[in-house]
Structure 1
Amino acid sequence: MPSVLPDGDPVPASGELPSSALDGLGSRPFGFYVHVPFCVTRCGYCDFNTYTAAELGPGASQRDYASTAIEEVRLARRVLGDAELPVETVFFGGGTPTLLPPDDLVRILHAIDEEFGLAAGAEVSTEANPESVTQETLEVLRDGGFTRMSFGMQSAREHVLAVLDRRHTPGRAAAAVQEARKAGFDHVNLDLIYSTPGETDDDWRASLDAALAAGPDHISAYSLIVEEGTRLAARIRRGELPMPDDDVAADRYLIAEEMLTSAGFRWYEVSNWAVSDEARCRHNLLYWTGGDWWGVGPGAHSHVGGTRWWNVKHPASYAARLAVGESPGYAREELAADDRAVERLMLELRLASGFPLADLRPSARTACARALADGLLDVEPFKRGRAVLTLRGRLLADALIRDLT
């Protein structure tokens, strides 16, 4: 949820979508993303659209947020009309969604169910900082229909957490996983970050060991990105910390792959590993495979039928628009067929299932053959008509995707 919104065409006050966006509505998977923009403190590396209590200002209230978000759910129903749209996935992200009372999160989920209906077996996830949940709050979420928890662990080393400005203690994430299991959650993810300044290979191995020992069925591991405007970027610019090194990041990725695979996890997207197909994050797969979703909340992005739009950024502006029955949409764009094809390639090639060779542009065939010869694509899937990244290809995925587009 980036903090700077792009420009685009105006969104009508009604939120009405172009007729082209509604074509085929219901034939593609449909989900909801709910952005909760509140944090106790701002992590030094974070560039997301989040606000501490001191930053909110007048006109925005954490107490009233659930009711405001529900108004956007009702707007979504009006905009999308009477099409039958069972919601296959719901994902609460942030910020820290679990700073809201668990009853508020459940209330938003129930509004989605009332307006659209949750599909049988729907996946309902929420992110959480480990210190923002208790056994009791997790039980309320599970009883209220949530099926999956995702905890921001980041590291098991105290000095690494300090560089990231994370406030939880190293062992808290593992305890939160156990509490989630006790509350009845079958699916639990831990997020990790590698190549933080000051982190060593042994630190990273210790974090992976701790994550595995906690017993999640899904682990996401991301290389630290230094975003302009963050406290971390300022510290690096002043020379207090070194810039993360790409070669170090590649080595850390190889360590992750080795340790996670040895523990029974398998990669299904470049930065995501799961113990089974059932443990994969279905909401993210909806994004990566061209589904439709409505993003609720300030700064949230949505996509329906090739039209993409994004909401106003500040919670006060967001609440003010919905209070008078207007869409909180800030701007939108209609993706041309070529743009959608490029985006599909960018996303699907990062998946373990790969991309069908028959759908490549003719101009990309030579680059694809070169990638195969260079060991970036797996030979056996290639023979069956699919471009699937090798381990080396995963390290160079961004460059390969540029070659193929």
Structure 2
Amino acid sequence: MTGRLVVAGGGQAAFALVAKLRALKDERPVTIIASEASLPYQRPPLSKKYLLREMGLDRLLYRPEPWYAENKVDIRLSTTVAGLDRAAKTVTLSDGAMLAYETLALATGSTPRRLPASIGGDLEGVFVVRDFADADRLAGELQPGRRALIVGGGYIGLEAAAVARTCGLEVTVIEMADRILQRVASAATSRLVRDIHVSRGVDVREGAGLVRLVGTDGRVTAAELTDGSMLPVDLVIVGIGVSANDQLAHDAGLEVANGIVVDRFGATSDPAIYAMGDCAVLPFQDMRIRLESVQNAVDQAEAVAAILAGGAVPYEPKPWFWSDQYDVKLQIAGFGLGHDETLVRAGQREGSVSVWYFRQGRLIAVDAINDAKAYVTGKKLLETGRTPDRKALEDPAIDLKSLLA
């Protein structure tokens, strides 16, 4: 194909798609439409090293500016796709320009859910962290002795709690569900991660929701919780999940279901349009899921690039994730949704532990806390479709490598 590829989005999936195409010697014209003012950059360090000012934005860039010109990639910053005409195969941009495409890739990502203004979500001092501008605004607020409230006990909220505590703030995490990480991890993993935060002085309140935020002169000063308590706060970080950016696809008549529905080849209900990354709903083990991870964004985008370049290999997700909290690294292989049993295995080093997930006797995921060997072993077992001997797995004296024999 020689017609223009237009990529809506300037994040990890967008960059991975274009970089892989060029690596495959595909020379078709490419235009990236990026909503941010910055060239594409890594997002995971935003809530960690970048927020702590241990890493600058220049180190987060995937490639410096000259790379785009050298690879004949037209990138338009601070611009979005405002309209899509599938019949004419054109997109209208936010600056009024119109582009024709032969292939369109939707890598529009997701948007953090915010607290509604009706409960104080618009007060000064209330933050989400999705891009570097969000992180810049929050960084100046992380001053020792201040009181931070984290709304949401998922990975984003817990990473924010770890950074705030590291900076010397008093930190309270509230989670409306019965336990933190309830949507994404087992009860065993939730307990282990909860203990990590509590041991570092974080007040973790599970089964506690937010009624409203209270402000003085437009600035948040307190939070009323569902247990009736009023908590004094100096800042609030919101981590209550994200919503897929699928409105453009919806308005154009593509199939959406809390994300843009794609097949195994990344194609939407329009064969000229593909979707990838956080915005895409893809088939996985007889389910339709949305994988919110860097790994999936990159792997799926590279698989679509290979397809566009003439390949015919479908994308088979092999999920893995990670989360850095304090000096703890949580590595996850597989997808634990629908597990009916877990096994907790102590690691060989102090503080290392892993949680193994099973469904109907088959290994489906592993969570490894400061236990790289458990992570690597679990990942290899999952990739080869093997389930380890249960008795051997239960015995911490048995080397995990033997399970791969």
Tell me the TM-score normalized by structure 1.
0.32
Greater Cα radius of gyration, structure 1 or 2 = 2
Q: Which has the higher contact order (CA 8 A, sep 6+)?
A: 1
Q: TM-score, normalization: structure 2?
A: 0.32
Higher-strand-fraction structure = 2
